[in-house]
Amino acid sequence: MFDYTAAEMTSIFVMQSFSGLSMFSVLLLMALGLAIIFGQMGVINMAHGEFMTIGAYTTVMLSQIAEAYGAVSYYFIFAIILSFLIAFAVGYFIEFIMIRHLYKRPLDTLLATWGLSLVMQQIFRSSFGAKEVSAHLPEWLLGSFAPTDTIDIPLNGLFVMALAAVVTGSVYLILFRSRWGLNMRATVQNRTMAGAVGINTKKVDRMTYALGCGIAGIAGAAFTTIASTGPTSGSLYIVDSFMVVVFGGAASLLGTIASAFGIAQAQSILQFFLSSSMGKMATLMFIVAVLMVKPEGLFASKLRK
């Protein structure tokens, strides 16, 4: 670290901070869906990463169709919408056939969704092959922005950050400015009383799980702009996503945002000066230390049981 000049150190921190922002954006999109599911229903969804993979493969397949018809410049926005809809539909179906039978049994949901993730990975492997594939990105996502001679910021990273901001704002409006969000928060705070006043809590649960899966699908579409996609791509993010949710506080939108930002920035900067594994270990040790003091997370929601 001490071999760099002050100007070089400034450039390194700016570049690594922006790299951390790109990681933060994908991690935030993943964690938003997971926080909704875990905070609402207490479901430990180990298959959440596979819903991200659904979005990624949807984008890859749509990019191949767009390339065949010469529409690469226009397909990506439609790919984001389609990724959300497909992941939402699959999540709705999974909740109906499996998850609804496992409420209030967190260990059972952990084992069941872990098994589901293995099944989905095999489906991906059988359908798309074991090799990683990449989406054909439109020209407006290629290239970079260079504010100085030593700082180079990729355009795809800027787009992913903008997408994360739009999705986060939309989640806020859904949760706090819509009737459905009111019903969901009422169910979280007191399920029995919510049912007593006429809220269909089973429907709320199903839509909540599907929404969380749909947001993971959007994360998958964003993921294709920064990395290639394989059958196990989603599983690489599941641990970090749970870490974000637990550290920020379950059911806390602000906590999820703050936690995702802090973890992504810490890992990005530490991994530059240390090894990748040492950077992750240092970040994890800090999180464990904080959770020992605040086991409920940074921004815990006060819920009635």
Task: List the domain boundaries for the chain.
Answer: 20-130+154-234
3-state secondary structure 70-135: CCCCCHHHHHHHHHHHHHHHHHHHHHHHCHHHCCCCHHHHHHHHHHHHHHHHHHHHHHHCCCCECC
Cα 180 from Cα 163, distance rounded (Å) = 23
Residue with tokens 């359908």, as numbered in its chain: 127
Q: pLDDT digit string (tens) for 278-297?
A: 777 888 888 888 888 888 77
Cα 32 from Cα 251, distance rounded (Å) = 9
- CB 234 within 8 Å of CB 48: yes
Backbone φ, ψ for residue 154 (5° rounding): -70, 145
Q: Looking at per-residue confidence, does 302 or 113 come out higher?
A: 113
Average pLDDT over every residue of 171-184: 88
Tell me how long the chain is.
Answer: 305
Q: pLDDT digit string (tens) for 64-73?
A: 999 999 888 8
pTM: 0.86
What tokens appear for 183 in the block?
A: 């019903």
